[in-house]
Each structure stands twice: as structure tokens, then as C-alpha cells.
Structure 1
């Protein structure tokens, strides 16, 4: 099942068809983790002004899914926070 997203940018409607991940999340904490990882991925790998759909196309859906299913993004965030605290 595809999900349709509508974005209005500069008065022009742009539609993107979402592609579902290959895993269904039934646990709330697991779902929240994948949402946080999605935000981190977009923040770290997106280009300024680039829509999320374009980021996914550029780096590849399989790559995005691999990163969302691993803990690498959250581990990197924890290391960065720990480094900032120790440098304060």
C-alpha cells in the first residue's frame, strides 16, 4: 500500500507517493526510534533545500532502510552528545 503525501510549495502542489518500509512496527518505542532515526538521517544526509523524497532518491531507498533498521544513527548521536558534554 502506497501512502500519498501532498506538499504545497510556493503555491504549487507537489505530490510524493510514499514507499512503505519492509518492516511493520507494532511496539511504540520501536516506532519512535525509527522516527528519530529518520529525522537524524535527513538532518545529517539531506542537502539544504532538498525534500526528503529527493534525499531518499539520491542515497537510495535500500540504503535508507538499512540505516533506519540499524542503531548506527542513534549511536552516532549518543557519541556526539557525549563528546559535547566532555568538551564543555
Structure 2
């Protein structure tokens, strides 16, 4: 298997390009003031990762199962976010 090095973006089969998360965070770091950046990355199976900034500019990630993901989204957005229009 070939080792992948120096990847800055991922090009999907449909032609869309996605920047890697560490590169995007580094590029937009000034917009957050350097304090407490975090995010929720939701996977296709409904599980997710809650990523928080750690010491030294690294990111810590906690994996959540499907139920924990829904609970986290309700905590963030409230139940109204899940209502139909």
C-alpha cells in the first residue's frame, strides 16, 4: 500500500474539492480568536466525533454513538431544529 503524504485537499468523484480540517482551522484561526474552537463531525452511520482544541494546537476527539449524537445536536440546537416545516 502506498503512503499518502502532503495531502492538502480531497477531490471527490463528482469533482468537488474538500479542504482537510487541520488546514481549514489553521487558515481561519484568526476568526476564532484562538479560544475554544470545537466542532461535531457527523458520520454517514449517524455516529459522530466531538472535536475540541487541545494543548499545542492539536485536536482531541470523542466518539459518540447514534443516540449520543442526537442528544448533542439537541443540546446545541434545541428540539425545534428537528421539526419539519
Q: Could you state the TM-score of these two structures normalised by the residue count of structure 1?
A: 0.27
Name the one with the larger strand percent. 2
Q: Could you state the TM-score of these two structures normalised by the residue count of structure 2?
A: 0.28
The higher relative CO (CA closer than 8 Å, separation ≥ 6) is in 1
Name the one with the larger helix percent. 1
